[in-house]
Amino acid sequence: MRRVDAFRLLILAIVYSKGLTPLVGCAAAAPPGPVASPSGSGAPYESRGPNPHSIQIEINTRAAREILATLSRDKYEPTDAKLLADLPAVRLAIQDSGRDASAFERDLAQAFDEKARAAVFDFRSVRENRARWEGLLQAIASREAELSRMAAERAAVLLPADRPVSADLRVFLSFGLAGLADHVLLTAPDGRDFMIVDLSRALGDVESEPIESQVARLARLIAGGAFRQAWAAYRQTSPAWQGRADELGPLGPLLKAVAEAGPPAIFTVDESFFPLTVWLKEPMKRSLSELNRMAERVAAAEKELEQRVELTAEIRRPEFARRLAGPAGAFLADAIIQAQGLEAYRTALASGPRAFFQAYDRVSRERRDLISLAEVIRDRLAEKPAGR
């Protein structure tokens, strides 16, 4: 599953359009009012506390090290490409790209030719900045245990605590992923989950930051992958998430999609942009206004079978989660956390999509700076579920 950090791209566009800098800690004073996490950051994933979950993260840097060693040569050696293509991280990345090994070999060779352009795998920029990446890899190697621990803690803290969840994620650090994503999440034939991180894309725009900040960013990215895995496992065993799909009527698929995609999307936002209701207020308004319009469209199509089928199909597409469900759900989740605390968010999430939206609805009725849910959503939330 390929992940493009849509929130990150949106944030950078907003920041640069205002002539600001996106670096951590460059915001002015901390905004008044919202509750900060115990660590001093307003980011929910920076909170700490006991939880029943077991999340294991294994970091593997071999692909990144071998690619850098190849790119450090004075000239291209064809045998290097074949050896690299046999590494699990590179082999999985080639498979995910939809190309064969010849495309990888060709683009690797073009990294040594100043006049050539990569078609799929961009190694040119990595070769030009290899000294930086070599230094970063050395820093990561010395902090590998800390990186795994930080990522596991961040992933666990946003999970509901009513039932334990176990997750095991193997993370490959590499370079030159195809497309625009800074990482991909894949499942091997044996069922084990893998995450491949393109370091040049994940950390390419933060070269001036201290190594500790870059490692923290990497920990957040990995935590997001681990959270997705654990969150999916949680929902599979939760009666509240495996209950009747029609208890929210025609709005059920929409509200469930938003409640599912919101918590993982929190990890795509840098800690300096929390609380989201303060630092990303305009994007919040746009996302929630679009969510409300979508809910009204779905409600209006209740008796129109063809329209309802088309809207349901749209809601289930991965693009819908990236474009609307994820950002809107993240705003809802953060608003609950900032107003009522992490435990209230966990409790609402454990009780299913209806409770998640009800928690935000209560908060939005008390705070004027939040966007209200559409009446069609509020009316559906107020109805007593069938059979209860």
In terms of C-beta density within 10 A (0-12 exposed, 13-18 middle, 19 or more buried), how is residue 232 classed? middle
Over residues 114-130, mean pLDDT: 90
Residue 313 CA to residue 92 CA, distance in Å, equals: 29
Residues 56, 229 contacting (CB under 8 angstroms): no
Rg (CA), the chain: 22
Strands 2-3 and 183-187: antiparallel
Residues 2, 181 contacting (CB under 8 angstroms): yes
Q: Is the pLDDT of residue 19 over 70?
A: no
Residue 313 CA to residue 322 CA, distance in Å, equals: 15
CA 65: distance to chain centroid?
25
pLDDT score, position 245: 58
Which amino acid is present at 374? A
Residue 22: name the closest of 32, 35, 13 by CA. 13
This prediction's pTM: 0.88
Please list the alpha-helical segments (H only) found in the chain.
6-17, 62-71, 78-85, 88-97, 101-110, 124-128, 130-142, 144-157, 199-202, 211-237, 252-266, 276-279, 281-300, 305-315, 318-320, 326-340, 342-350, 353-366, 375-382
Residue 274: name the closest of 92, 27, 61 by CA. 27
Q: Is the pLDDT of residue 39 over 90?
A: no
Residue 377 CA to residue 291 CA, distance in Å, equals: 10
Please report the sign of the dihedral spanned by the C-alpha atoms of residue 230, residue 42, residue 211, residue 24: positive
pLDDT score, position 184: 95
pLDDT score, position 49: 81
pLDDT score, position 36: 38
Over residues 20-34, mean pLDDT: 34
Q: Is the pLDDT of residue 21 over 70?
A: no
Q: Is the pLDDT of residue 385 over 90?
A: no
pLDDT score, position 133: 96
pLDDT score, position 29: 30
- pLDDT (tens digit, 9 = 90+) per residue, 44-69? 999 988 899 999 999 999 999 999 99
> Is the bond into 210 cis (omega within 30 degrees of 0)?
no
Categorise residue 365: left if φ over 0, alpha if ψ from -120 to 50, beta otherwise.
alpha
pLDDT score, position 18: 41
Which amino acid is present at 301? A
- pLDDT (tens digit, 9 = 90+) per residue, 194-238? 999 999 999 999 989 999 999 999 999 999 999 999 999 999 999
Mapped onto helix, strand or coil, the DSSP state of residue 158 is coil
Structure tokens given for 315: 């809601």
Phi and psi, residue 193, nearest 5°: -90, 140
pLDDT score, position 7: 52
pLDDT score, position 284: 94
For every residue of 14-37, DSSP letters joined together read HHHHTT----TT-SSSPPSSSPPP
Which residues share a beta bridge with 195? 171, 185
Over residues 137-143, mean pLDDT: 95
pLDDT grade, residue 30 (50/70/90)? very low
Q: How many CB atoms lie within 10 A of CB 121?
A: 27
Angle made by CA atoms 258, 195, 217, in degrees to the nearest 5? 75
Q: What is the mean pLDDT of the chain?
A: 88
Structure tokens given for 181: 């994503």
pLDDT grade, residue 147 (50/70/90)? very high
Over residues 114-139, mean pLDDT: 92
pLDDT grade, residue 13 (50/70/90)? very low
pLDDT score, position 35: 37
